[in-house]
Amino acid sequence: MRAVFDDLIASLLPASCAGCGRNGAPVCSECVRTFSAAPLLPPPPGVSWWGAAFAYEGVVREVVARAKYRGARHGLRALTSALVAVASHVPAAPDVITWPPASAARHRLYGVDSAALLARDVGRAQRVPVARLLRRARGVPQTGLDRSSRRRGPSLLAAMRIEGATVLVVDDVATTGGTLAAAARALQAAGARNVYAVTVARTRPPWDQGVGRAYTAGHTPVSLPWGRVLR
């Protein structure tokens, strides 16, 4: 109910840009022009294919952080079209879409799971069933851990058997890839044949300080909803 109430209030108030603060849109066209494409990186262990729309920096990082830690989801959902565009390049059509669940503490605080919202948006666009296939075991939250600890990922368990299924995991951001790797381990233990992943953003590796390119099949350019093309 809190999420519904928050969405109603947001629809009645003028949106302000997460980048510059100007009213009119969750992310204004000028701030969109500052976005960088996701760096090219290999998938985490257990993930057969991984696509991401943007580099996790600047305005994109602010949008994701506001959604994760303040419950401000409208800016994140403004990026959904780009996420769907990247997800359209999966090597094979998934049988089901899922997401790594947020910690219980974060869900209690904000009343919604951003990754779940994104997964449902991708599922609607691709006309693929969306199901909660993962659950989070008790453990230390990922936020605040060092990079080595984060790389191991949270403790995730499969909620059901999924023999022979091809699963697409949707998340907002991947920093070390630990969460995606943990999701893949849990899904494969439950019988998944292939695990693909797509995220709104991914972190640049330490050696990459330049502008990357969108990770898509054959490096096909991805057209964004605002008219810009990432190559």
Residue 126 predicted with pLDDT over 70: yes
How far is the C-alpha of 41 from the C-alpha of 174, rounded, in Å?
11
- Of 230 and 84, the structure prediction assigns the larger pLDDT to 84
Q: How confident is the model at residue 158 (pLDDT cuts 50, 70, 90)?
A: very high
Residue 143 predicted with pLDDT over 60: no
Residue 223 lies in a domain: no
Residue 10 lies in a domain: no
pLDDT of residue 167: 98
Residue 45 lies in a domain: yes
How far is the C-alpha of 68 from the C-alpha of 18, rounded, in Å?
13
Read off the pLDDT of each residue in 107-119 and give the average, rounded to a whole number.
77
Give the DSSP H or E segment for 52: strand 49-55
Q: Which residue has the tokens 């951001």?
A: 173
What CATH number has the domain bearing residue 41? 3.40.50.2020
Please say whether the beta carbons of 153 and 186 come within 8 A.
no
Residue 193 lies in a domain: yes
Residue 182 lies in a domain: yes
How many domains does one find in the chain?
Answer: 1
Domain that holds residue 126: 35-216
How far is the C-alpha of 187 from the C-alpha of 156, rounded, in Å?
9
Read off the pLDDT of each residue in 65-73 and give the average, rounded to a whole number.
78
pLDDT of residue 8: 42
How far is the C-alpha of 197 from the C-alpha of 171, rounded, in Å?
8
Residue 26 lies in a domain: no
Read off the pLDDT of each residue in 39-47 and give the average, rounded to a whole number.
94
Residue 28 lies in a domain: no
Average per-residue pLDDT for the chain: 80
Question: Above pLDDT 90, what percent of the chain?
Answer: 52
DSSP symbol at 37 = B
Read off the pLDDT of each residue in 111-127 and give the average, rounded to a whole number.
90
Amino acid at 121: D
Read off the pLDDT of each residue in 17-43 and give the average, rounded to a whole number.
89
Q: How confident is the model at residue 225 (pLDDT cuts 50, 70, 90)?
A: very low
Residues 163-201 pLDDT 10s: 999 999 999 999 999 999 999 999 999 999 999 999 999
Read off the pLDDT of each residue in 119-140 and give the average, rounded to a whole number.
90
Residue 74 predicted with pLDDT over 50: yes
Q: How confident is the model at residue 151 (pLDDT cuts 50, 70, 90)?
A: low
Residue 30 lies in a domain: no
Residue 110 predicted with pLDDT over 70: no
Cite the DSSP H helix spans in 13-103.
29-32, 58-70, 73-77, 80-87
The per-residue b/e assignment along 24-43, b for 16 or more CB within 10 angstroms, e otherwise, is ebbbbeebbeebbbbbebeb
Read off the pLDDT of each residue in 12-37 and give the average, rounded to a whole number.
83
